[in-house]
Structure 1
Amino acid sequence: MKTIGLIGGMSWESSLLYYQIINQTVNKKLGGLHSAISLLYSVDFEEIKALQYQGKWAEATTIMMDAAQKLESGGADFIIICTNTMHKMAKEVEESVSIPLLHIADATATKMVRDGMKKVALLGTNFTMEQDFYKGRLTEKFGLDVMVPNEEDRRVIHDIIYQELCLGIIRDESRQAYLRIIDKLSRQGAEAVILGCTEITILISQENCSIPLYDTTRLHAEAAVDYALGVLYFTP
């Protein structure tokens, strides 16, 4: 079994889910008392959030590269970044180490393509929904037609992530707001929705929704287990 290196803390709420899903998946596959061999480097998200909002991506990239290098030095065989937004600097992080990085968008899109999805909606932080580092990868590498909510709905999604979900606050009003936005996207032609922020899965699940949801947290964590055990459906 390979050692999984996790860059987490963005937020720790979703990093907790990563750790749980990874270990549950290893145990399901191997049985007994098996669990994952892993290293977690957890950052201070307040510092990261400040850099995001100030547009200081170079400084944020330095922090992420340092985390990756520490995981490699600690014995990690590959790395996953436990957040969608910070895949903005995935290329720089990967180039800073000599071990592979498993990209969250690749894990998600591989499953969507296998399921025959073509036109998909993306929910996440404003950085993820509005910038091209994520949407562009889904389109250019996997041929997906990616749509995002309108400006007002993007603000609602973003604010709930930072002001509630990252703090572990779950409100039914926020769930209903997300479901209204998803319904609107469905009526505009979305065949499925990518939960493109690792905290969104805390708020909504497939049982809440009439169209398929692709949970990036679970798909990424399960892909990490597959890679650790020598089975992977895409090339990192």
Structure 2
Amino acid sequence: MRKLGLIGGTGPESTIIYYKEITDGVRRRLGRDRFPHLSIESLDVFEVLDFCRRADYDGLADYLTHGIANLAAAGAEFAAFTGITPHVVFDEVARCSPIPIISMLDTSCQYAVDRHYDRVALMGTGPTMDGDFFQRPFQAHGIDVVTPDDEDKRYIAKAIETELEYGIVRPATRKALRDIAARLAEREHAEAIVLGCTELPLAFDGIGLPVDIMDVMRIHINALIDHICDHPCDQ
């Protein structure tokens, strides 16, 4: 098996899910009791968001590149971010990285292409919804990406930063996020709601919507399991 390095802490709740679902997924994929070797470099999601607020993308790229270098020094053969917001500087980090990085944007886009979506609605952190880094690969494949109005954006971003990053899921917040998603899908005629923050699935677990839900975290996790198992060991 190939050793994976994860940039965790962006945020902790999603890092826990990545670790658990990757280890369990590899064991199921191999059909025997084997767990993969992993290294996790836990960074600070609030530092990442602060870099974005200051538009200090060079500083953010350096911060993440240092983390990737630590993973490579620990023997990781490839790496991944456990959050979407760091992908705002993915290209810059990938150019400097000593090991390949599996992009959450690429795996999500391929998922949408395979399902022949023409239009999806994106929910995520402020930098993700307000930026264009998530939208670009989708648009290159002819898929429109729409976002909530400014008031709903502010609500989603606040819910992520003040609740979901800490693993808190209040019933009122869950309902409000579900209502925003349903309203967005209806207004924009979207074929799927993209959970474009790896903490958002905490609020959408077990919630039904009139359209498909794209959980980019689990799409990414499945792709990472594929990469880990490219060269399974015989022991």
TM-score, normalised with respect to structure 1: 0.93
The AA in structure 1 aligned to 2:196 is: G
Superposed CA deviations along residues 84-143 of structure 1, whole A, max 9, x for unmatched, are 011011111111123211110111121121122111001101111111111112212x32
- Partner residue of 2:99? 99
- Partner residue of 2:4? 4
Q: Which moved more, 1:51-60 or 1:112-121?
A: 51-60
The AA in structure 1 aligned to 2:57 is: W
Return 5+ residue gaps in structure 2 as ranges: none
Instruction: Give the drift of 1:145.
Output: 1.0
1:4 and 1:38 in contact (8 A); partners too:
yes
> Is 2:163 the partner of 1:164?
yes
1:68 and 1:96 in contact (8 A); partners too:
no
Instruction: Give the drift of 1:206.
Output: 5.6
Runs of 4+ in 1 over 6 A off after TM superposition: none
- Partner residue of 2:109? 109
In 1, the alpha carbon distance for the partners of 2:56 and 2:97 equals 22
The AA in structure 2 aligned to 1:121 is: A
In 2, the alpha carbon distance for the partners of 1:120 and 1:165 equals 23
Superposed CA deviations along residues 7-47 of structure 1, whole A, max 9, x for unmatched, are 11011111111111111110111122211221111113333
- Partner residue of 1:223? 223
- Partner residue of 1:234? none
- Partner residue of 1:187? 186
In 2, the alpha carbon distance for the partners of 1:10 and 1:184 equals 28
Return 5+ residue gaps in structure 1 as ranges: 232-236
Q: Which moved more, 1:50-59 or 1:24-33?
A: 50-59
SS in 2 for 1:194: strand
- Partner residue of 2:172? 173
The AA in structure 2 aligned to 1:72 is: A
Instruction: Give the drift of 1:49.
Output: 3.0
- Partner residue of 2:153? 154
- Partner residue of 2:122? 122
Q: How many residues align?
A: 230
Instruction: Give the drift of 1:178.
Output: 1.1
The AA in structure 2 aligned to 1:143 is: G
In 2, the alpha carbon distance for the partners of 1:113 and 1:206 equals 25
In 1, the alpha carbon distance for the partners of 2:142 and 2:101 equals 21
State the percentage of identical aligned residues: 30
1:206 and 1:212 in contact (8 A); partners too:
no
Q: Which moved more, 1:45-54 or 1:216-225?
A: 45-54
Instruction: Give the drift of 1:52.
Output: 2.6
In 2, the alpha carbon distance for the partners of 1:151 and 1:48 equals 22
In 1, the alpha carbon distance for the partners of 2:150 and 2:49 equals 21
In 1, the alpha carbon distance for the partners of 2:207 and 2:133 equals 30
In 2, the alpha carbon distance for the partners of 1:202 and 1:105 equals 20
In 1, the alpha carbon distance for the partners of 2:115 and 2:48 equals 35
The AA in structure 1 aligned to 2:155 is: V
Instruction: Give the drift of 1:193.
Output: 0.9
- Partner residue of 1:47? 47
The AA in structure 1 aligned to 2:163 is: E
> Is 2:90 the partner of 1:90?
yes
TM-score, normalised with respect to structure 2: 0.93
Distance of aligned partners of 1:87 and 1:173 in 2 relative to their CA distance in 1, 3 Å threshold: same
Instruction: Give the drift of 1:146.
Output: 0.7
In 2, the alpha carbon distance for the partners of 1:21 and 1:110 equals 21
